[in-house]
Chains A and B, each alone.
Chain A
Amino acid sequence: QKEVEQNSGPLSVPEGAIASLNCTYSDRGSQSFFWYRQYSGKSPELIMFIYSNGDKEDGRFTAQLNKASQYVSLLIRDSQPSDSATYLCAVAWAGYALNFGKGTSLLVTP
């Protein structure tokens, strides 16, 4: 059973702070890792993906992957109220469908 675990939250951070979202996965063979954002009432949108251990930065977002510890995280710098959403972690083994976590709700307060 391939599990992807996320804390459901809500995670509350003040505007301008760094939001840190975490995700753990059970399948050591997982090779691709994705973060999606879903606003209430909308469909998920891809934020970024990461394949290799370490950090990957894209604007205010940084994905961090540690395959040995089987976790992937997403950091959001300078959090804005517009970042308030549910963040979905997804994990895949090469060529296979994504396994989604249940999502972490983030609330950025002004």
Chain B
Amino acid sequence: GAVVSQHPSWVICKSGTSVKIECRSLDFQATTMFWYRQFPKQSLMLMATSNEGSKATYEQGVEKDKFLINHASLTLSTLTVTSAHPEDSSFYICSATPRVRGGETQYFGPGTRLLVL
């Protein structure tokens, strides 16, 4: 149980294009979904927190107009990197928290590697 999927697992795109990454909780409803970014040999960096049906909360320094998050249902959140540039190349990981009382456990998706040329 508590499986989170991400699609795609790999993206290579040209600079200036937009990329959409999907995060799905497969066997549970997620109260909250989180988006992280991780550069090589660095720690996880929380980008934003999203709750179903409401606007995402972005961490300081993360441009909300560049990283668009939509949490349309209790099982799906999407991250769109708009006008991607080489510096946006990174490992993007989502996580989801089950909709249970007191649930803070985050289950992570397998991640999406983005390479912007």
Contact = CB atoms under 8 A, between A and B. Distances in A.
Contacts of B107: 46
A34 B46 CA distance: 17
B111 A42 contact: yes
A32 B43 contact: no
A95 B102 contact: yes
Interface residues of B, number: 18
A22 to B, nearest CB: 17
A44 B105 CA distance: 12
B8 interface: no
Interface in B98-117: 102, 104-111
A98 B106 contact: yes
A94 B111 CA distance: 26
Contacts of B32: 97
Contacts of A97: 32, 34, 46, 49, 104
A34 B108 contact: no
B108 A95 contact: no
Interface of B: 32, 34, 43-44, 46, 49, 91, 93, 95, 102, 104-111
14 contacts: A32-B102, A41-B91, A42-B111, A46-B106, A46-B108, A49-B105, A88-B44, A90-B106, A92-B104, A94-B102, A95-B102, A96-B104, A97-B104, A98-B106
A100 interface: yes
Contacts of B95: 44
Interface string A26-57: 00000010101000011111100100000000
Contact of A32 (B46, B104, B110): B104
A102 interface: yes
Contacts of A90: 106
B58 to A, nearest CB: 13
A41 B46 CA distance: 17
A102 B38 CA distance: 11
Contacts of A41: 91
